[in-house]
Structure 1
Amino acid sequence: MKHTDLHYILALQNVPNLGDSTAKKLIRNLGSAEAVMKAKKESLLKIDGIGNTKLKDLHSPEHLRAAEEELKFIEDHKIDYAYFEDKDYPEKLKHCLDGPILLFSRGNIDLQNKKIISIVGTRRITTHGISFCEQLIEDLSPLNPVIVSGFAYGVDITAQKAAIKNNLQTIGCLAHGLNQIYPKVHSKYVAQIESNGGFYTDFWSSNPFERNNFLKRNRIIAGLSEATVVIESAEKGGSLVTADIANSYNREVFAVPGRPGDSQSKGCNNLIKSQNAHLITGAADLVYMLNWDTGPATKGIQKQLFLDLDPQEEPIHTYLIENGKQQLDSIALHCEIPTYKAAGLLLEMELKGAIRPLPGKLFEAI
């Protein structure tokens, strides 16, 4: 990209109240960011959906001055960037209307032909949440997915550390420019992440570090991937915002269920209860719902998930493996178990990720 083109793109990105979706509309109508910045206000107002409020500050010379300073930072620090119409712009993010017009990155990110999932959740992760997150990523590792998160405390850094441990590419989406790292204590993971993955942000080095930045960056977390997994969440939290955004993008959302009284499970339970997320108990649920390629890797995942079946559950599982989908009464009759007891065992097996219920009171082994 030419120096001049990038200069005008940065200037347009700096215009307050414009927003990425409006900026894209203007660029597509006029052909380039430079044409937008040089166009007369009267001609821009003729474009459908463009009003005075959005164009109020468009022609201020301050934007070109600020863009020049940021351009110098980009060049001096060898920051990578992708324009929303470039081939190297993340493919899934291209389909998001409010995806950034310019995305900055650092590291060795490769998203070509990759399975990509985002993992988010509370900053106050429990030991159960840590265990589930680590096991999920370990079980998915044969499929070599890219793990996206927000590099924050709790679920985010747990997921990214687990990705590093399993030699998976991981991407941290930052709520600030690439001139800093937050939280600073996570600086020790930067080199490992950049060697196999990296960082994305649409914030400038000069942007103030504000709380609302986290909510804005969540659209990138949701937009990069085909699915978002919420590990744990209180009744309110940023991860629920990410889940809402993912749903608005028509992406799959998964939530880990928890006990009703657990404060860090309320958000996940509400997502499931309101049918805004699929219940996930293990890697096989995600593989099945996303229709990822089956093969030796998937069989390896399933094998790991089945190791915790108890002696009463094993004959039920064997029966379903050998006979396919079966109704509760048939399962109980064949396994010589009272129906009420078979129903309880099937529920336990579903929570372990060994079987799944189907319409018509049918069950099948995963």
Structure 2
Amino acid sequence: MLPSLENEKISTLALIHTPGIGSVTVRQLISYCGGASKVFTSDYKKLIKIPGIGDKVARSILNGGGFAFAEKEFVDCGKSDTQLHFVTDKTYPGRLKSLYDAPVVLYSRGQFDFNQQRTVGIVGTRQISEYGKTVTETIIKELVPFQALIVSGLAYGVDITAHRACLKNGLPTIGVMASGLDVIYPAVHQRTAQEMQVHGGIVTENALATKPDFMRFPARNRIIAGLSDVTIVVESAKKGGSLITVEFAQNYHRDVFAVPGNLSSPQSEGCNQLIRDNKAAIFTSVQDMAMAIGWNLDQELNNGLVKQFEKEIPMSFDGFTQDEGQVLGMLRQKGNMQIDDLSWQSGMHLNKLATLLLNLEFQGMIKSLPGKKYGLI
């Protein structure tokens, strides 16, 4: 008999690999049944009453066909030093947990923290120009003081330029893949992927040995957008794949910046269009971007000094409701936070939380920031 926790994880993998079930449905099944293992012990009548579960999917679940694959996958991950991050785990990225279409499990290799204080997605064309290369390398250098985790896709062009610049400048970086972790695509980036695992790593939602099929790339892009506080598009054609990442970032209420380029350059046509249509803010420098989204190194240094004396000079939330005190305490502990993260971590419905935040803003306790973020005054 498998230990209960291990059984739950293998049951989750089995659900993921049951035909006709995606990430959203897996989470719904687990929520309705009270756990992945309990999904498989539910009867047919209960399963078909769950929204989105019809006769075919219910029978597929009860057949338990995904278990053989799931058990082998669990063992193979252990043998290959592959870490599994289930949505219920503490190691699972907090930035993804509140997203409706987040992967139920992530595979990773390397040394990094998903929940690093700052994350920046850098995306762009595979046909990078010298201008794009210079801009990408400059962005990475300017991000060093902020010690941000850089997220990209390990592809040709802007992606690999960003990863390699991070290795050169000592910034942690992760490559989100559209394949299994043991199928590096493109293969010529194998060495860079290995180097990244020393100070960063590679990540995917796909099982080992999965090939990088065309339709897996848009799914990969949603993970890049979801992991990133802010996404920077360096260069993009008018219909470039980076624009898909931008759409996801906007849906997740994340900040998006685009680097302006030569009007006659096909590589900059997509970026210029994003700026023109107000779908992205214009990127001029990391310092300007940091100011726009509320990153303040000086303030953090001051906060660090304040924390040394927190026990002697505690902040009192007397006079506020329990909910208000909870939100103020979270902002004090974690710094600026997005409203979606506040909602998830506090357990408050968005409508209730929005009213509460407005009241606190009127009382001069908090301030609203770009990207639907809030921070203490």
TM-score, normalized by the shorter chain, greater than 0.5: yes
In 2, Cα distance between equivalents of 1:104 and 1:50: 27
> 2:80 is matched by which residue type in structure 1?
H
Deviation at 1:60, TM superposition (A): 3.4
Partners of 2:23 and 2:102 within 8 A in 1: yes
Structure 2 residue 37 is matched with structure 1 residue 34: yes
The answer on 1:143 being equivalent to 2:146 is yes
Separation in 2, partners of 1:53, 1:275: 44
What is the aligned counterpart of 1:241 among 240, 244, 247? 244
Q: In structure 1, what is the Cα distance between the partners aligned to 2:102 and 2:174? A: 17
Matched, 1:290 2:293: yes
Instruction: Map 1:1-366 to 2 at 5 A.
Output: 2-52=5-55, 55=58, 57-295=60-298
8 Å CA contact retained: 1:70, 1:206: no
Q: 1:314-335 CA deviation, whole Å, 9 max, x = no partner? A: xxxxxxxxxxxxxxxxxxxxxx
| Displacement of 1:234 | 0.5
Structure 2 CA distance for aligned equivalents of residues 54 and 282 of structure 1: 50
Native 8 Å contact 1:143 1:297 kept in 2: no
Q: Is the 8 A contact 1:116 1:147 kept in 2?
A: yes
Partners of 2:59 and 2:257 lie apart in 1 by 41
Q: 1:289, 1:133 → 2: CA distance?
A: 19
Structure 2: distance between partners of 1:198 and 1:159:
14
- The residue identity in structure 2 corresponding to 1:167 is G
Contact 1:223 1:246 survives alignment (8 Å): yes
RMSD of Structure 2 on Structure 1 (CA): 2.0
Give how far 1:267 is off.
Answer: 1.0
Cα offset, 1:40, TM superposition: 2.3
Deviates more, 1:287-296 or 1:237-246: 287-296
Change (3 A) 1:269 1:210: same
Counterpart code for 1:37:
F
Change over 3 Å in CA distance of 1:157–1:113 after alignment to 2: closer
State whether residues 103 and 200 of structure 1, in contact with CA within 8 Å, keep that contact through their aligned partners in structure 2.
Answer: yes
Aligned residue type for 1:10? L
Deviation of 1:50 (Å): 4.1
Alpha-carbon deviations, 1:111-144, whole Å to 9, x = none?
3442101000000000000001111110111111
Deviations 1:297-345 (A, max 9, x none): 99xxxxxxxxxxxxxxxxxxxxxxxxxxxxxxxxxxxxxxxxxxxxxxx
Give the CA deviation at 1:202: 0.8
Q: How many residues align?
A: 298
AA matched with 2:73: E
Quick one: distance in 2 between partners of 1:208 and 1:135?
33
- Structure 2 counterpart SS, 1:2: helix
Larger radius of gyration: 1
The one-letter code sitting in structure 2 at the alignment partner of 1:120 is V
Return the offset for 1:2.
Answer: 3.1
8 A Cα contact 2:40 2:61, kept in partner: yes
Distance 1:282 1:16, change over 3 A: farther
Q: Distance in 1 between matches of 2:63 and 2:211?
A: 20
Give how far 1:206 is off: 3.8
Question: Which 5+ residue runs of structure 1 have no aligned equivalent?
Answer: 299-366
Counterparts in 2 of 1:252 and 1:57: CA distance versus 1, 3 Å: same
Structure 1 34/123 Cα, relative in aligned 2: closer, same or farther at 3 Å?
same
- Secondary structure at the aligned position of 2:260 is classed as coil
Q: 1:207 to 1:41 in 2, by over 3 A?
A: farther
Tell me if structure 2 keeps the 8 A contact 1:142–1:297.
no
With structure 2 as the length reference, what TM-score do the two structures score?
0.75
Change (3 A) 1:258 1:108: same
- Aligned mates of 1:19, 1:160 — CA distance in 2: 30
Distance 1:206 1:113 in 2: 29
Shift of 1:189: 1.2
Contact 2:14 2:64 in 1 (8 A): no
Counterparts of 1:50 and 1:152, CA distance in 2:
36
Change over 3 Å in CA distance of 1:242–1:62 after alignment to 2: same
| Displacement after TM superposition at 1:166 (Å) | 1.0
Contact 1:81-1:104 within 8 A present in 2 as well = yes
- AA matched with 1:93: L
How far off its partner does 1:68 sit? Answer: 2.0
For 2:264 and 2:62, the matched residues in 1 are separated by 55
